[in-house]
Amino acid sequence: MGVHLSPTIDLGIVTMSWGPLLIVALFTILLVRGAKLSATVGNIVTVINIGVVLFVIVAGFSYVMAEKYAPCIPETIPASGQDTTDVLKQSLFAFVGY
C-alpha to C-alpha distances, 98 to 16, 49, 94, nearest whole angstrom: 58, 39, 6
Answer whether residue 75 is part of any domain.
yes
Q: What is the pLDDT of residue 79?
A: 58
34 and 56 in a single domain? The answer is: yes
From first to last of the 98 residues of the chain, give the pLDDT tens digit: 678 878 888 888 888 888 888 999 988 898 888 989 889 989 999 999 999 999 999 999 989 887 777 666 566 666 566 666 666 666 676 666 55
Q: What is the pLDDT of residue 60?
A: 93
34 and 77 in a single domain? The answer is: no
Q: What is the pLDDT of residue 2?
A: 78
C-alpha to C-alpha distances, 46 to 10, 36, 51, 53, 56, nearest whole angstrom: 35, 15, 9, 11, 15
What range does the domain containing 80 cover?
69-96
Q: How many domains does the chain have?
A: 2
Whether residue 86 contacts residue 78, with contact meaning beta carbons closer than 8 Å, is answered with no
Answer whether residue 20 is part of any domain.
yes
Q: What is the dihedral of CA 54, 68, 72, 75, to 10 degrees?
A: 130
Q: What is the pLDDT of residue 21?
A: 87
